[in-house]
Structure 1
């Protein structure tokens, strides 16, 4: 029995390590910030920080956009850079680009409190005030737990929890002390739960990054129609900074859903994928 359990754990460890290796590389430099943060030694970010602090927000945007494009060419994204861009765009009252960059930052680092705070504050400034449709409380809790860490964070926690589980099993099987066995059992059970949910959250966060199905309205006004046809009935209108969920594609049209559950079609040029 012991050999079977240890063999199963060994195979699971290989699976967990492979899961961690499959996570896309995300460059996260906590020292590179624009607002209420310290600047790093990187020339571009230092220049952007100086421009931002002097009120030259458009200059800061130009510098950071150049850095963003250079990073994308190398296959690297930074939640901090997106956060900085969001701040700079917000200062120029460009709610579309501000929301877009804040949401991209949140996608890479969902647990960051500054990002969450700025998104919540920005929601008070955009034109569309959309109430969120009621959702099952367990789904809300599950999503909130998932967003506590990034995909890399959950992967690291899974590996650490797995090592703790191995240690607990060794202590449980080979210790003769009853108290030690009980302690090892409960710690191992807790570690097992963390391993299972850590892997689930890792792959869900990874899937959100690789298959981006949310977007932000960028156009001044975006009419939402009943079908992918310019002559179809207009259902409602959205404005810059509103986040939508993309559900279907049809040529140059996207079917979108908003937080209150309403669905319609919009021209692709009116929004940008997060």
Structure 2
């Protein structure tokens, strides 16, 4: 798994049978701490040192402690995912990579690493391909974070206001200027529409990653006489519908619904 930034490691070349290239690990990890600012330098340095010496359990504990302190960063999740992946914790690795992608959705390294990890999943639910325009819309929407869509919409709205100002005072004239204004209005509405859609999507969905293998999903939130409906394996994604004590009800992308122990799934940030 790969690296083109000083703040992460691993690249798209397969190496050591893992799909992660460690050849540049030491130099990159020495540089990474300078990109973190708010993250406690001593903890991050400890985690980096642990990765350098392949003490992945120690690295995981330290990276997780940084998260517990309330700090998060796409590169931190990415490195944590690499550490989990090397110890065969596929579910935890996918969880970390998914969080990295949520914070930085255009990073090719993140997409590569999560694809490598997902290829090791046992459960593979293949859904029909959506209509190409719908897929194109989803791809565009997922290519930016909610904050980026809001900022982009604000900038376009500001430019639109300046254009209207120019038309009102006669600095801009002609049919072309009016056509450009129409285009700006459509673009503004489109961007803000995507931002609203993404906001409600993030608000209404609560996705988790299964971090235990061979988890039975039951018809109710306790063992007892409840029926086992299906089995789900490590690394699978599921929407967390509701929780009850030590159980959560999940819904898979194919519509299957059941209750699993809360400790067997980790909610995305």
**TM-score bin, normalised by smaller chain:** 0.7 to 0.9
Please state how far the C-alpha of 1:172 moved relative to its aligned partner.
3.1
Please state how far the C-alpha of 1:233 moved relative to its aligned partner.
2.2
Please state how far the C-alpha of 1:251 moved relative to its aligned partner.
4.3
Q: Let me know the Cα RMSD of the aligned residues.
A: 2.7
Cα 1:242–1:223 change in 2 (3 A) is same
1:124-135, aligned counterparts within 5 Å? 124-135=119-130
1:88 partnered with 2:83: yes
Please state how far the C-alpha of 1:160 moved relative to its aligned partner.
1.1
> Please, which of 88, 100, 117 is the counterpart of residue 122 of structure 1?
117
Q: Deviations over 1:46-89 (max 9, x none)?
A: 4433432332222322221121111x2xxx43222111111111
Please state how far the C-alpha of 1:229 moved relative to its aligned partner.
4.3
1:233 partnered with 2:232: no
Cα distance in 2 for residues equivalent to 1:262 and 1:113: 31
Aligned to 2:74: 79
Cα distance in 2 for residues equivalent to 1:129 and 1:233: 23
Please state how far the C-alpha of 1:252 moved relative to its aligned partner.
3.6
- Structure 1 stretch displaced more, 45-54 or 233-242: 45-54
Cα 1:142–1:177 change in 2 (3 A) is closer
Cα 1:48–1:245 change in 2 (3 A) is same
Greater helix proportion:
1
TM-score, normalised by the number of residues in structure 2: 0.76
Native 8 Å contact 1:228 1:250 kept in 2: yes
Aligned to 2:215: 222
Cα distance in 2 for residues equivalent to 1:44 and 1:251: 33
1:272 partnered with 2:266: yes
Cα distance in 2 for residues equivalent to 1:208 and 1:35: 31
> Please, which of 105, 113, 117 is the counterpart of residue 110 of structure 1?
105
Q: Bigger relative contact order, structure 1 or 2, given CA contacts below 8 A and separation 6+?
A: 1
Q: What's the secondary structure of 2:54's corresponding residue?
A: coil
Q: Number of aligned pairs?
A: 239
Native 8 Å contact 2:47 2:58 kept in 1: yes
Aligned to 1:164: 159
Please state how far the C-alpha of 1:124 moved relative to its aligned partner.
0.7
Cα 1:132–1:229 change in 2 (3 A) is same
Q: What's the secondary structure of 1:39's corresponding residue?
A: helix
Please state how far the C-alpha of 1:235 moved relative to its aligned partner.
2.2
TM-score, normalised by the number of residues in structure 1: 0.75
Cα distance in 2 for residues equivalent to 1:82 and 1:69: 13
The gaps in structure 2 that reach 5 residues or longer are 12-27, 35-40
1:192 partnered with 2:185: yes
The gaps in structure 1 that reach 5 residues or longer are 1-29
Please state how far the C-alpha of 1:210 moved relative to its aligned partner.
5.6
